[in-house]
Amino acid sequence: MRKARSPASPVKSIAGNERALSHTHATLLMVALTIILAALLLLMLLAMIPSWSWAEPAQPPVIITDIIHTSTETGKMKHASRVFLLNNGSTVYKNDDLRAVFYRNGQLAAIVQTLNGYLLIKSHHDGVRYLRYEGCRSPYWNPGEEMEVDLTDGTLIPGVKVTVEIIDKKTEKVISKHTVVA
């Protein structure tokens, strides 16, 4: 005679399979949780470390783009001391409110009392021959505009460290300072 199976037998079989499935899910959930926690920990640690950037530091609002030592007429070296300044920022300056102070190797070389080309002509401007180009032609020096400051020949010679400070004449504060090698 055969024994009849009890109705509970199939249930035990199903429960055993579910238990195995539950164990697999638990393992997968633990692995996923471990990866998420490791990623969060990594993000927190990276936030504490200063960022390393290979980008150059921001340039000042007015920069020296070039210093020319050759004659405009002959192209020969004559220590012409022509300095090109660029409004590198986003601010529009009233150029008559600005003064440029040039230093050669840390020593005062020249002072330009106004960066307005028309007003410079009428003023006492010892050490400066002229200003020209779009940055000094109107009352305003707009972003992206360049001007040439022609200092007395021999003021700046090749190889010296040249610094220009742009000073707001109303507040007497330096609004830009830039140094290059001539």
89 has pLDDT over 80? yes
Interacting residues of 105 by C-beta distance below 8 A, sequence separation 6+ = 160, 161
Which pTM value belongs to this model? 0.65
pLDDT, tens digit (0-9, with 9 covering 90-100), for 5-36: 555 555 555 555 555 567 888 888 999 999 99
- Closest Cα to residue 92, out of 142, 134, 133, 167? 142
Question: 43 versus 57: which is more confidently predicted?
Answer: 43
CATH topology of domain 62-181: Immunoglobulin-like (2.60.40)
Amino acid of residue 152:
T
pLDDT reported for residue 171: 93
pLDDT reported for residue 93: 92
| Banded pLDDT at 81 (limits 50, 70, 90) | confident
CA gap 138, 93 in Å, rounded: 11
Amino acid of residue 169:
K
Secondary structure (3-state) at 105: coil
pLDDT reported for residue 3: 55
Record the tokens describing residue 89, joined without a space: 């920022």
pLDDT reported for residue 105: 92
pLDDT, tens digit (0-9, with 9 covering 90-100), for 111-168: 888 888 888 775 566 677 778 888 888 899 999 999 988 887 777 888 889 999 999 9
